[in-house]
Structure 1
């Protein structure tokens, strides 16, 4: 067998590589395969020197020797991964080893991007970066203008070292770093941040502001910014929605956007790194007549399979796994087939590149819950509706357009209460479908019902599509760019408080306001630069100018303030934070309108009348609540009433700003919407914090993403336990076994503060999303986690309450309801053993078709500890 022995501070660490070798005979010289393909003899001394240097760079003393005798050739990347991952496994006891592992990985980045000799003389960082940029420009991988624009900022090499090991892995393997023609990494993290900042800025002054915000991790742009800034395909948007009309192609139906048109547009968008949502409600039901071919229709679900296969082929240009949302309105005759499309035996085999959700209107919900005593709800053939009225059913069959439905367009009826129960039972079974509440979506729509024309296409402006994780709510062909404020960066130093008001005072509200204003400008500038090459999409982007400014790190903020996630203090805090961000972002958009002009359809919007969409939304939700709350159990009625009181307190707190803003927006706003809370799956790894508004998922977990399998502890939680003297062997064992403190010997208040997603009751999840939604004019991506033994009634009431409290889209996930997942909590001994034995294969992501076989084997072994991803497709932003 081969082994290596390294001593850090005289503590021996054994690096076991038993299963990384093949016994081919001791007489053969073992080779290390370099990234270029060249081979060289394995050298214990060379490996030892690289470790010594990496450790010395972060002040860790290394002595001893490395002894290794592999009997098979091994790549340099495998060898480095072996060392780094072993150091990380030991780092829970000796944190400095994580710094050594990170330093070793950063050295690999520097060697590829800046040259092997850079590690011997690091004084020429900027010079080496610009030399690399020149090579990228010469190779045609960057635009010529990048050369001069990147000099607008002073590079910050310290940003490289501020990132965690997992962030650097994401940077290298997740396509945040540009690669040269030889597929070697061609930039450092600080250089990539400069590329993003300058590509959006348009001026040196703005570039410096953006660069400082990004490198301090106060704002973190979404993945497409890192993928595409200054490249030949400069597209920054994350979220797209497309129309899917009831025809095959615009070749035979000029002026319409048919199935294969949407398929082609989707491929282009996925290749650029965007996610796409489609509503399939315009497609005629299965079995309906197709006059042109004297045949019968196969229905919307059959066509969804085309889009599912399309993503498998495209793979988002190798940048990340494709993300799609498919929706169907509840009145569609194929609704029951849709509900069952990903449940039972189909849930792990059918439409695996789709999230699916049912669009429901208030009429349906009131019938389903018994507000309306008549549960009968019509099913409507969209083809007949269009033939009789010349209008699209999705624009008219809802509470906003009470057009009379032609009698022969009604293809039957369902019992709404029974169908709602079927939807919730399917979601309990597999996590699909979710629900999208059309009335809630449009309650904050500033252009609701207005006639719009873009690229020669006329339509009634109604939000009837959502992106893959439902954080953006859109008319078809709309676009939204995402950037996230990292809340953890706005906690004042050395601040502590016991009362809620004292805890509020620990937040740097002025700094948060500045971040909201800067993020608004950053996103608006991105709209002018971003292009897909699809005329109607690009024109719509310019016409409605949708910003998606969101947050990350909320759960970590709570821990640092000593506020449990499952508490009314947390529910009120998110209400205040989002209210504060909203008024400042909208105020900044009004300032931009004075500088550059308002969005194209401003005069048709409610802003022109001095109305604020968030307030319009709140008035709608709480007026309806008073009318429907009698059908809810007492504890849910009480929860809803309390959330209404919280929202009113925030509104009073913001009243001076609101009154000024009402007048100011009459003069114009630059962006039709300003906020959206995304799942921040990748970007929260980059920032080293928690995702979106989600709670801490687990205190120890395996994360399977396209960059590989990451073994993680939630460091702020471990630090909290250590600071209180609670990190004992028994507590560590409990955390590693389960990912939670539930069975650990620690005080109950500590368990409550560090409760993880699966321990938090579904009501708190719904309340948190509903509270944030009061001030978010678009949507919120959030998963309502439930334990495996949760009854189906929990899903039923979670859906029902979410609708009544104004949630726009809801997804539930019951533990163990799927067989393959993205995140696994706990590190059971057999899982840890399997990880130690698993061969680490580093391959270019663009050549991957799936996570490597060994990682899949680990996932199958980990089923008993399996937990869901926050975003079911895993890659939403």
Structure 2
């Protein structure tokens, strides 16, 4: 290997900062995630310019194998400054990087042929999942083949444990391999037809369970019809076949309402409209040749057959808007068409580069010192992936900056006019990507199993035929280079470097806001991203680059510092107005996704972001509309729904229900809106809803009872579990009530009451007397600040600052912090704390864990 120049972190950061014109966040993200490094962390690139030349030279090398090759300069010009074509993370880090042996694929799906319902099959899938994740891949696999709980098995257990324990196994493996910033994400799916679909749906509602996986339910059209018409639906195992071992009828409406409720409450499960996916899938025309779609990648944008994979690339739509934000703005379709055809060509070249990477991985396995008994499964895994990748040559050309493109055209996201324009752009993209694939088939050869007759009735192919008969005729004559070409993936941190939004999302923040705090001890200026102004901070300044472009186009001063009121006034005049997550017409957004989906052969990864105060009826309407609009999948995120706060919905008596409930053909039902951040309530209600939080410190088992008022922590009882003192709770108990009682002598006590699985109530009396009195005294202090609604992150700071002499009390203090962290709203800044990995003060809470926005490292507990 040739000797390459090394750069210090500071050298790379300074060069990247200049490249990104002073954007510190983009510079740090690039250095930390995408600059070429070896396994020891040595940096070999100091700016994205060097990275883009590395990628351009490697792709040009592949181009030389074929007719009419593109030059490295042509390729570099497409990549430079992320202006037109933006490779996804795995290709960006891996292409031309000989220091690390990693795949260029972002997405994998695995699964075994035949009867895979055995421990041998379960363990094989577990190993394959880990082996792929350690090479940077995200993995999806389906659990519909696992027999339901209680079914006979031919081993000493006698009966099956069902789906949920295996969900936990795969989740734990992900958490293990994805530590310290290594890539690894997991999607678990199951068919709604499986008799244990409800247990699968509920699994993530139990705190601490299946935290390392996304979960989605594969829903068929028959289930949706039964759910919307309130009819029974038949589940069975196996899920296909006329002679099932298990068969039961269920209320489709009741199970659908469970899906809607859980999605409203915790943003999962996602739904995959499986009949739509299979009906539209071109690779499934070759299902009998190994291309039967069984699951999706973790973000859901690539439905895949077992052992197929996909590499991703995005086209920056904003760059094709000429005269952006001006009255004469227009979209340069001719330039766009040329670049789409080149992008598809680059993607096919990257397939060749991936096959080379797979060969290197297999050589590495071959040279490892372990015996073939140990490494044989990994070798066989990559043999299967190489075969499938070479047969289909699947690609994932997508887009980024759709929201900014729409704004730059003077359109408002979510309107019919904006949707019609966007659909035309995606239609143009699809036709030209397929034109390029056909041209490459003529020059390079079609993918191995291409057969025009197999595809002729496919709906997507039919739309291409109707739109461009010449293209279709050429495809029948020459074939196509790639079995499928298109997707819309979340572009994540790469969108920071294009300084635009990603996917088909609207612009969530019309402007980035910055504040400056002058250090009183020296002349340094600390700059950070914030949501609110403190007394010691100066006024806001405008920072969002695209917003500034709109300002420049309209003759406004972009160097001036603006107050919040002035910014609000500016935003009200801009095309970003009414295009934030809380403003956009959510139903229109779902319909837009469905319309665009007609021109995307894979799928679209997009989340419908909702404000906290929406009800379940809206979530229901959005999911049903997504199905009816032709979406292949849909995920709902309600602001704060993953923060661990349990929202209570007041039950009404029958009379009130009859008055307040309305239904329509979409099964819409009015429910109480979740409570917003509560007012101070000084008089404690007699009963409070309660979460039971278990944890372990220094091998001691602890339990916390957190009383909730309107879903917000109001009081806490916590200490060591002590069976002799009467704290005997089934492991399944995670909720209950704390009831305030007055004894005959006038003293007060607090009882904990819960319901068992059969609905019988059990009361543990004298909860306040069950723990060490010293714990109780400190708990009263903490409960006091909770009642007066001190923000949870401040409460945790207060607890951590307590100076306690006893080691056991200090251990208790850590337990209280752990118990309360789950209630911190995602995105809350951990002010004053530094990342142990990179030292930056950019930590935020996410599902109780601290995540560094600078380097991406995380720590929990």
Q: TM-score scaled by structure 2?
A: 0.65
d(CA) in 2 for partners of 1:323 and 1:730?
A: 41
Matched, 1:601 2:449: yes
Aligned counterpart, 1:211: 76
> Alpha carbons of 1:717 and 1:701: their partners in 2 closer, same or farther (altered >3 Å)?
closer
Report if the CA contact (8 A) 2:829-2:844 is conserved.
no
Q: How many corresponding residue pairs? A: 615
2:785 matches 1:797:
no
1:537 equivalent in alignment to 2:385: yes
Match of 1:626 in 2: none
Q: Which residue in 1 is equivalent to 2:653? A: none
Find the counterpart in structure 2 of residue 855 from structure 1: 843
Query: Counterpart of 1:135?
Result: none
SS in structure 1 at match of 2:331: coil
Change (3 A) 1:582 1:184: closer
**Secondary structure of 1:681 counterpart:** coil
| 1:380 and 2:242 correspond | no
Match of residue 111 from structure 2: 243
Task: Please tell me whether the aligned partners of residues 283 and 300 of structure 1 are also in contact (alpha carbons under 8 angstroms).
Answer: yes
Alignment-derived partner of residue 290 in structure 1: 153
Structure 2 residue corresponding to 1:576, chosen from 418, 424, 427: 424
Query: Residue 140 of structure 2 contacts residue 295 of structure 2 at CA under 8 Å; is this kept in 1?
Result: yes
Q: Distance in 1 between matches of 2:602 and 2:222?
A: 22
- Name the structure 2 match of 1:812: 636
Q: Equivalent of 1:475, from 300, 305, 311?
A: 305
- Distance between the aligned counterparts of 1:492 and 1:697, measured in 2? 23
Q: 1:709 to 1:173 in 2, by over 3 A?
A: farther
Alignment partners' CA distance in 2, 1:595 and 1:721: 47
In structure 2, C-alpha distance between the alignment counterparts of 1:160 and 1:725, rounded to whole Å: 25
2:197 aligned to which of 315, 335, 360 = 335
Aligned to 1:111: 11
What whole-Å deviation, never above 9, does each CA across 1:373-428 have from its counterpart, x for those lacking one?
7x12112122xxxxxxxxxx4xxx3xxxxxx521x433312111221121111111
Match of 2:321 in 1: 491
Partner of residue 52 from structure 2, selected from 166, 173, 193? 193
Does the C-alpha gap of structure 1 residues 843 and 451 become closer, same or farther in structure 2, counting only changes over 3 Å? Answer: closer
Q: Conserved in 2, the CA contact under 8 Å of 1:159 and 1:216?
A: no
Shift of 1:697: 1.8
Q: CA separation in 1, counterparts of 2:574 and 2:111? A: 49
SS in 2 for 1:776: coil
Contact 2:35 2:47 in 1 (8 A): no
1:781-809: CA deviation from partner (whole Å, max 9, x where unpaired): 00011111111011111111111111001
Contact 1:787 1:814 (8 Å CA) reproduced: yes
User: Residue 733 in 1 paired to residue 564 in 2?
Assistant: yes
Matched residue, 1:423 = 259
**Residue deviations 1:714-747 (CA, integer Å, cap 9, x gap):** 3323554675759999974269xxxxx8xx4468
Shift of residue 239 of structure 1?
Answer: 0.9
Aligned residue for 2:143?
280
Contact kept, 8 Å, 2:302 with 2:487, in 1: the verdict is: yes
How does 1:546-557 map onto structure 2 within 5 Å?
546-557=394-405
CA spacing shift, 1:728–1:600, aligned 2, 3 Å: closer
- C-alpha separation in 2, matches of 1:308 and 1:248: 19
* CA distance in structure 1 between the aligned counterparts of 2:41 and 2:225, rounded to whole angstroms: 60
Q: 1:11: which partner in 2?
A: none
> Displacement of 1:695 after TM fit?
0.7
- In 2, the alpha carbon distance for the partners of 1:234 and 1:168 equals 24
CA deviation digits over 1:202-241, x for unaligned, max 9? 2474433222111142000010012222225252111111
Equivalent in the alignment of 2:164:
301
| Structure-2 residue corresponding to 1:715 | 545
Residue in structure 2 matched with residue 5 of structure 1 by the alignment: none
CA contact (8 A) 1:463 1:475 kept: yes
Change (3 A) 1:182 1:516: closer
- Once the two structures are superposed, residues 107-136 of structure 1 have per-residue CA deviations (whole angstroms, 9 ceiling, x without a partner) of 9657369xxxxx9xx9xxxxxxxxxxxxxx
Partners of 1:709 and 1:464 in 2: how far apart?
A: 44
CA distance 1:721–1:488, change in 2 (3 Å): same
Aligned with 2:332 (options 508, 520, 526): 508
In the superposition, relative to structure 1, how do residues 538 and 709 fare at CA in structure 2: closer, same or farther (>3 Å)? farther
Whose helix proportion is higher, 1 or 2? Answer: 1
Alignment gaps of 5+ in structure 1: 1-105, 114-118, 123-156, 383-392, 398-403, 454-458, 619-650, 736-740, 822-827, 845-850, 864-868
Report SS of the residue matched to 1:576: helix
User: What is the Cα deviation at residue 439 of structure 1?
Assistant: 1.5
Measure, in 2, the Cα distance between the counterparts of 1:223 and 1:426: 31
CA contact (8 A) 1:473 1:778 kept: yes
User: Equivalents in 2 of 1:801, 1:873: separation in Å?
Assistant: 37
Residues 301 and 602, structure 2, Cα contact 8 Å, conserved in 1: yes
Distance 1:717 1:446, change over 3 A: same
Residue 475 (structure 2) pairs with residue 665 (structure 1): yes
1:589 aligns with 2:583: no
Whole-angstrom CA distance in 2 between matches of 1:814 and 1:512: 35
Q: Deviations over 1:836-861 (max 9, x none)?
A: 952444626xxxxxx99972469979
Of the three residues 284, 294, 313, the one matched with 1:448 is: 284
Go from structure 1 to structure 2 and tell me whether the alpha carbon gap of 1:702 and 1:303 turns closer, same or farther (over 3 Å shift).
Answer: farther
Please give the residue correspondences for 1:680-695 in structure 2 after superposition, counting only pairs within 5 Å: 680-695=491-506
Structure 1 residues 726, 244: CA separation in 2 closer, same or farther (over 3 Å shift)?
farther
* Other-structure match for 1:76: none
- Name the structure, 1 or 2, with higher relative contact order (CA <8 Å, separation 6+): 1
2:204 is paired with a residue whose SS is coil
- Cα distance change of structure 1 residues 842 and 210 upon mapping to structure 2, 3 Å threshold: farther
Equivalent in the alignment of 2:218 = 359
1:249/1:435 CA distance change after superposition, 3 Å? closer
Contact between 1:247 and 1:259, CA under 8 Å: does it hold in 2?
no
Distance in 2 (CA, whole Å) between partners of 1:208 and 1:262 is 43
- 3-state SS of the aligned residue for 1:183? coil
